[in-house]
Structure 1
């Protein structure tokens, strides 16, 4: 396996780059954690998916006497809770270990990816379910020496995200989507277990991408407030943005532009005819 569902990290990371405005990273949680549960939905008839992911049928069994060299079919999917080693191996083969090795975390990987994506459009992202290492360094602000109440986001923060953006840009979109399709049943299973029995995960991915693409482009400097310990955006409109949209703002104009380009490319790919292809 040479590809994996790295795009989803990028949201990732899928990933992958969220933290609160305090600049103090939360301690890593133990492996055994309880996944957040969605509010119990009223039972309704499930609507058909808008963007279905359609795996190809299993290839027919070849006669024993066949001598023509053929590429073997992809291995069967593992159980959801036993899928970490397979995903770790696939992603490890895809990544440039020298540049990006050790940046991803493979504990309950599929479940945590689903939690992250679902919450990128929500107010807060549960950091304890992240699938990437914490963003390095401390959150930085600028204070006006003449006015201590005049606080702005320090552009020096932007470079803290650049390595994560480079990781996402290094991946082959076609290969990522092929693997996403191959493993899609596991993502759907994790999404149902999260509390959405009548919803389709790929539709949610598209919804979240659209939320991120709607992030406003804000002129600098970005004003901050500190009503208590945490920093907040002084502009109520910015403070009301989702966790994923705030991440794009904190990544800076250049990184934000690059991430938007990736989001548009992946949206195009996962909303067209997506079918499973053989996974080496």
Structure 2
């Protein structure tokens, strides 16, 4: 395994650690929001890949694009299977964390889930992560420390290029197991109960995407349209970390490329859970990108 420390990249590495936490944020976060997998999925503080980067080429000017407002689709129709349970009066948004954790106990018996949610402002964090995913972005500031993965996204040499080391994908195994095993019906019921708080938090965010419902739909489509990659895609050193040799992969959105970091086995499992919960929320199947076989 090759690693070339570069002290000039310390600040970049720290930013990547925070990004990796968002992967979990997006995963559990959309679970909280009702689609179950990637929305805190911009992973726990992703470290930069330990590739020795070349001297950076002059960066091309970023196109001056403004995100367009997303037209809301038809209202989500609750699945008949999601029969409402007796609910408590909604707490204020600022005091909603304990209610989120109480509901989360119905989604999974895994203690790690509640450990991940041992933070504050959970709904606000989820809303920010979902909104960023809808834009194809990968937020870096919403991830609680409790969700940070350990270690770096390591790479190994493969001919003249690089590929992800097995340990890089293995870091997401536990997260994938927990997300895949979440009770989709319980998630939908929780989202229905808390939906006014999600909308309140989204309004406070000042997003141009319209309602939280519209942002959620777009985020779901963003994740489900991420291509399935068989085998090991080749990587090349870029600042920060690495990029894909294949221009089609490198051209994906930041959110989609982060989902690919789950690996060729884990990423499709996350997508299947996202799709399952989207259908339970009542999103028409025609609105969802088909999953690759």
Confirm or deny a common fold (TM above 0.5).
yes
Query: How many positions carry a matched residue from both structures?
Result: 235
Deviation at 1:192, TM superposition (A): 1.2
Q: Which runs of 5+ in 1 are unaligned?
A: 25-38, 55-71, 274-280
Which 4+ stretches in 1 moved above 3 angstroms?
7-14, 39-42, 46-49, 92-95, 97-101, 121-124
- Evaluate the alpha carbon distance shift between residue 232 and residue 189 of structure 1 in structure 2; reply closer, same or farther with a 3 A threshold: same
Root mean square deviation, CA, Å: 3.4
Matched residues in 2 for 1:219 and 1:41: separation?
A: 32
The structure having more radius of gyration, on CA atoms, is 1
User: What does residue 56 of structure 2 align with?
Assistant: none
Which among 130, 155, 173 is matched to residue 184 of structure 2? 173
User: What does residue 103 of structure 1 align with?
Assistant: 116
- Evaluate the alpha carbon distance shift between residue 242 and residue 229 of structure 1 in structure 2; reply closer, same or farther with a 3 A threshold: closer
Q: Which runs of 5+ in 2 are unaligned?
A: 1-28, 51-64, 79-84, 285-293
- Evaluate the alpha carbon distance shift between residue 41 and residue 232 of structure 1 in structure 2; reply closer, same or farther with a 3 A threshold: closer
The superposition leaves residues 48-94 of structure 1 with CA deviations (integer Å, 9 ceiling, x where unpaired) of 6522468xxxxxxxxxxxxxxxxx95221111111112212322454
User: What does residue 88 of structure 2 align with?
Assistant: 75
2:256 is the counterpart of 1:232:
no
Matched residues in 1 for 2:247 and 2:261: separation?
A: 16
- Evaluate the alpha carbon distance shift between residue 121 and residue 155 of structure 1 in structure 2; reply closer, same or farther with a 3 A threshold: farther
Question: TM-score by structure 2 length?
Answer: 0.68
User: What does residue 119 of structure 1 align with?
Assistant: 132
User: What does residue 195 of structure 1 align with?
Assistant: 206
Mapped contact 1:105–1:133 kept (Cα < 8 A): no
Larger fraction in helix: 2
Question: RCO (CA 8 Å, sep 6+): is it higher in 1 or 2?
Answer: 1
Mapped contact 1:123–1:243 kept (Cα < 8 A): yes
- Evaluate the alpha carbon distance shift between residue 240 and residue 104 of structure 1 in structure 2; reply closer, same or farther with a 3 A threshold: farther
Deviation at 1:214, TM superposition (A): 1.0
